[in-house]
Amino acid sequence: MNFHEYQAKILLKRYGLPIPPFAVASSLKEAQSALKELNLSQAVVKVQVHAGGRGKAGGVKFGKNNKEILKYCEELIGMRLVTKQTGKEGILVEKILISEPVTIEKEYYVAALIDRSLGKPILMVSPEGGVEIEESDPAKILQLPFGSDGKLHSYQRIELAKWMGWKGEVAQEGMKIFASIAKAFIESDASMIEINPLVLTKEGKLSCIDAKISIDDDALFRHPEFAGWYDPSQDDLKEVEAKKYDLAYVGLDGTIGCLVNGAGLAMATMDIIHYYGGEPANFLDVGGGATEEQVAKGFQIILSDPHVKTIFVNIFGGIMDCGVLAKGIVRATKEMGLKVPLVVRMEGTNVEMGRKELAHSGLNIITAKTMAEGATKAVEAAKSWQS
């Protein structure tokens, strides 16, 4: 789960990180109240959306006086921000962050994340911040593993401070920041904490100007506050609906809707569709023990995508019973008046019962016994389908 910037700053502030004073507003009236509360004559106004590149897309403004600040607040609240990460549809801005500006002397990059190859959390730092880390010189990036207890040894803090080129009081302040980020990362069950930029101000102090945090979804039961921070307005409506039924859905740009059980099989299904010349319209994992209701809901979500020309159901019944799956398919097909071609390949527990259920349904269902056969038929059906 991704945090908004203001939520990330709320959390990091609890760990003692230097965060400029800020407030959040979702209306002009709230923005006026925020300015009075912060007592600002100048302010940075930033849209709160789950996307990078906000500044380049016009989502970050600097107001030099009260009137200009409120003008920007009014412009940004309710706008649809379009960046490389949002796609051409963009994201509706419902909240803005109003923050005290700082005078920047130097920008740095700091992040905590999991290194999958090492199987350990690491701090990734660079004396070059303010840009995407992919654009930085690799020779200027240091990756330092730390323990799963979230503690940094003294020598690690010193190594990090030297890498950043800090000395004296700035080095001492920076070492505290590194230790706090590592601790916050472990204690909050984060998958990423990113401070970009961390800046050195003209006054010689370090300050966290922007922050991003992603939390492991599987750990949210330990953090009910974080779970309450989920903002469905930032996700695709189909993905939001899928979450309500414990379905894993990701929309794609193709024409073949996929309903599969198990993430590995779902990835393989998308690969084999590509192999035979088709394009998947989604990733949809209904899980190992899906019910009839979940299967029916999966169909409904897939068909809410107007680009879908065929549905390919690819199921291996281990925990899942193919008989239950077949009943769900028949129910969904009848209830929704399915018009696009439906290709079903199933194998595993009670597969013969499932196949009989499909065969006796009276529905025009294309069956296949192997993944390759199913993918081939799905691609052919999508290419020949005329809506």
39/20 Cα distance (integer angstroms): 13
The Cβ of residue 223 has, within 10 Å, a number of other Cβ atoms equal to 17
What is the predicted pLDDT for the residue at 144?
96
Q: If we measure between CA atoms, which residue out of 276, 202, 203, 283 comes closest to residue 247?
A: 283
Phi, psi of 5 (to 5 degrees): -55, -45
Is the pLDDT reported for residue 292 higher than 80?
no
Contacts of 231 (CB under 8 A, 6+ apart): 4, 50
What is the predicted pLDDT for the residue at 297?
84
105/156 Cα distance (integer angstroms): 25
Phi, psi of 24 (to 5 degrees): -120, 140
Is the pLDDT reported for residue 213 higher than 80?
yes
**What number is the average pLDDT over the span 326-334?**
83
Contacts of 145 (CB under 8 A, 6+ apart): 115, 118, 120, 121, 122
302/139 Cα distance (integer angstroms): 45
Strands (E), 116-189: 120-126, 142-145
Contacts of 267 (CB under 8 A, 6+ apart): 283
Structure tokens at 331: 């129910």
The set of catalytic residues is: 109, 194
348/352 Cα distance (integer angstroms): 9
Q: If we measure between CA atoms, which residue out of 274, 293, 270 comes closest to residue 284?
A: 270
How many CA atoms, within 13 angstroms, populate the side-chain half-sphere of residue 178?
Answer: 34
Is the pLDDT reported for residue 279 higher than 80?
yes
The segment with the largest mean pLDDT, out of 124-138, 205-219, 362-376, is: 205-219
Q: pLDDT of 51-108, one tens digit each?
A: 888 888 889 999 999 999 999 999 999 999 888 777 777 888 999 999 999 999 999 9
The one-letter code for the residue type at 222 is: R
Long-range contacts of 266-269 (CB under 8 A, 24+ apart): 268/371, 269/312, 269/314, 269/371, 269/375
Global pTM value: 0.77
How many CA atoms, within 13 angstroms, populate the side-chain half-sphere of residue 9?
Answer: 21
Q: pLDDT of 217-249, one tens digit each?
A: 899 999 999 999 988 778 777 877 778 878 888
83 compared with 206, residue with greater pLDDT: 206
Residue 195 CB burial class (10 angstroms; 0-12, 13-18, ≥19): buried
161/166 Cα distance (integer angstroms): 5
